[in-house]
Structure 1
Amino acid sequence: MSAIDALFERTRVEDRAALVGYLPAGFPSKELSIRAIETMVEAGVDLVEVGLPYSDPVMDGPTIQAAADIALAGGTRVGDVLDVVKASAATGAPTVVMTYWNPVERYGVERFAADLAAAGGAGLITPDMIPDEAEEWLEASGEHGLSRIFLVAPSSTDERLAMTAEAASGFIYATAVMGVTGQRDQTSALAEPLVSRLRKVTDKPVGVGLGVSNGAQAREVAAFSDAVIVGSALVRCLLDHAGPDDALSALRDLVVDLRAGMER
């Protein structure tokens, strides 16, 4: 059983959804990104997504793009991302990397899988890689015991949902908002129907990402999903506060609010 499988087994027993938190490695600095992840886990994040900063983040909204630009300007490279993964895994929270496929391919698929596993990483989220084009990754991830987390969207056909669910492990990432990432004032009406469609073809856990930014929204999503995925709102805590102490305090407060909302 993988660390991710064990997490979802535990949250099922506890009758709650898992809280998944995303932050880019190297943002605002390598040291502070590690401190921020440690803060998130202490405050209640169950699973950490470490973002690999990329120069052409076509699926990311302005908040995550701004964070990635800062990380890249600071010299963040794949080796730094793996260092952040190692520190995150040391907290005890299952840790995955979220990345576009090009950096993995340039690094070397087998080498990336081996190095991610060696750093304590539990898997990889690949927003622009679909299962039917992922033969090399399926082989490498299987060899190194890494979960392969693929994305589905409201536009996915039933056939595509079934095929993606069959290839995925760890959990399935349901992107319930059409368009780029970012905070929203309200949750999407497309989220629950998408999860319902997935339930018809798989019993694997489903995590939903749709711009959740507060406890009330997290509660809505937790009512029909296995995991609530939060990214831009967490990144915004670090963007909006110049001092590290204030930034980490805001981050902690947001995670506490998210968890409280999910547990009401």
Structure 2
Amino acid sequence: MSRYPAMFSRLADAGEGAFVPFVMVGDPTPAASEAIIEALIDGGADALELGTPFSDPVADGPTIQRAHLRALNAGVSFTDCLEVVARVRARHPQLPIGMLIYGNVPFAIGLEEFYARCAAAGIDSVLLPDVPVRESAEFSAAAEAAGIDAVYIAPPSATAQTLDAVAKASRGYVYAVSRAGVTGTERASSTVGLAQSVARLRQDAAAPVMLGFGISGPEQVAEAIAAGADGAISGSATVKIIESHVPTLARLAQESGEDSPEYAAALESLQGELRDFVATMKAATRRDR
């Protein structure tokens, strides 16, 4: 059973929205990414959105594209990602975990097996960013059969017809895109029209609405909550923090080894920066600010 309803109910009672950071599993290595994920949770993440490396991530901008490449260069496979997620799930049984995975992965594996493997790892939801809602029926059926929430994107300036289709198809949450384009571009998140979109989605009894793309600072989180969103997702800003530490981690891994005190200290520095970032972003979700 999905963990999202309990999370959103708890946050509503507390007068808060959700803050959900995104990171790429396997970036820069599976072990480091697992430590990174733990830092996000320690910082106060309400849920996780985790990526699986893919060679043609068309919805992602340069920052997250480089995360895909780092994980691929480390030899990270879909199976490796599921193993990391399964270990995180064992330590955090109530935490909602969503995955962002490009459509070729389930196509290559087979939909039934793909969603079954996700469920076995403890994943709550799967967002396929390159699968539009009009093509969603087959994916949704396979996800539902495995007990996985299928999440779909509500595009910016979407027609009422598209919003209705997204509301009908989405489970767990709806991913509302804040602006046109790919993740992590210089254009900031926008809440223009968000209130109207949220109202339309809720009219159709949609799942809670999370705003993504361009969420890089606490002021944008606060704007999303004020505009009626149930929470915000931040990807590129989180990945940029990781990327800034990668050269040091790579150098120390080569010079001293990943078991060395020097490497451990560098990884802890990265974890500390991530904990502080998440705590700041989470504080902006309070509705009484």
| TM class by smaller structure | over 0.9
Q: 2:135 is matched with which residue: 133, 147, 163?
A: 133
**Counterpart among 108, 111, 120 of residue 110 in structure 2:** 108
Are 1:219 and 2:242 counterparts?
no
Match of 1:164 among 152, 163, 166: 166
Aligned match of 2:210: 207
Give the Cα separation in 1 of the matches to 2:237 and 2:16: 21
SS in structure 1 opposite 2:20?
Answer: strand
Instruction: List aligned pairs for 1:242-253, cutoff 5 A.
Output: 242=248, 243-253=266-276
Give, in whole Å, the separation in 2 of the partners of 1:49 and 1:12.
20
Give the aligned partner of residue 75 of structure 1: 75
The separation in 2 between residues aligned to 1:189 and 1:136, in whole angstroms, is 31
Match of 1:198 among 198, 201, 218: 201
Q: CA deviation at 1:49?
A: 0.9
Q: Are residue 255 (structure 1) and residue 259 (structure 2) matched?
A: no
Q: CA deviation at 1:13?
A: 1.7
Q: Secondary structure at the match of 1:104?
A: helix
Where 2:183 maps in the other structure, the secondary structure is coil
Maintained 8 Å contact 1:19/1:46:
yes
Shift of residue 210 of structure 1?
Answer: 2.7
Offset of residue 84 of structure 1:
2.0
Shift in alpha-carbon separation, 1:152–1:3, aligned structure 2, 3 A: same
Deviation of 1:216 after TM superposition, in Å, equals: 2.1
Q: Does 1:175 align with 2:177?
A: yes
**Using a 3 Å threshold, how does the CA distance of structure 1 residues 184 and 14 change in structure 2: closer, same or farther?**
farther
Q: Single out whichever of 199-208 and 10-19 deviates more from structure 2.
A: 199-208
After superposition, the C-alpha distances for 1:76-96 in whole angstroms (9 at most, x for unaligned) are 111011112213323231111
Which residue matches 2:261?
none
Gap runs ≥5 in structure 2: 249-265
Offset of residue 245 of structure 1: 2.1
**Residue of structure 2 equivalent to 1:117:** 119
RMSD between aligned alpha carbons? 1.7
Deviation, 1:136, is 2.6
Determine what percentage of the aligned residue pairs are the same residue.
35
| Separation in structure 1 between the aligned mates of residue 169 and residue 52 of structure 2, nearest angstrom | 23
Q: Residue 240 of structure 1: SS of its match in structure 2?
A: helix
- Note the C-alpha offset of 1:186: 4.2
**Alpha-carbon distance, 1:244 to partner:** 1.8
- Cα distance in 2 for partners of 1:247, 1:184 equals 24
Change (3 A) 1:127 1:110: same
* In structure 2, C-alpha distance between the alignment counterparts of 1:162 and 1:103, rounded to whole Å: 27
Offset at residue 6 of structure 1 (A): 1.4
Structure whose CA Rg is larger: 2
Matched residue of 2:49: which SS? Answer: strand
Query: Deviation digits for residues 2-51 of structure 1, max 9, x if unmatched?
Result: 21121112112222111111111100110111111111011110111110
| SS at 1:235 equivalent | helix
Deviation at 1:132, TM superposition (A): 3.1
Tell me which amino acid in the other structure corresponds to 2:23: L
1:235 counterpart = 2:239? yes
CA change 1:259–1:47 in 2 (3 A) is same
Does the 8 A contact of 1:99 with 1:124 survive in 2? yes
Does residue 7 in structure 1 map to residue 21 in structure 2? no
Q: Name the aligned partner's letter for residue 222 of structure 2.
A: R
Question: Which amino acid in the other structure matches residue 256 of structure 1?
Answer: A
SS of the counterpart of 1:262? coil
* Alignment coverage as a number of residue pairs: 264
Helix, strand or coil at the partner of 1:97: strand
- The answer to whether the 8 A contact 1:29-1:71 is kept is yes
Alpha-carbon distance between aligned partners in 2 of 1:186 and 1:105, rounded to the nearest angstrom: 33
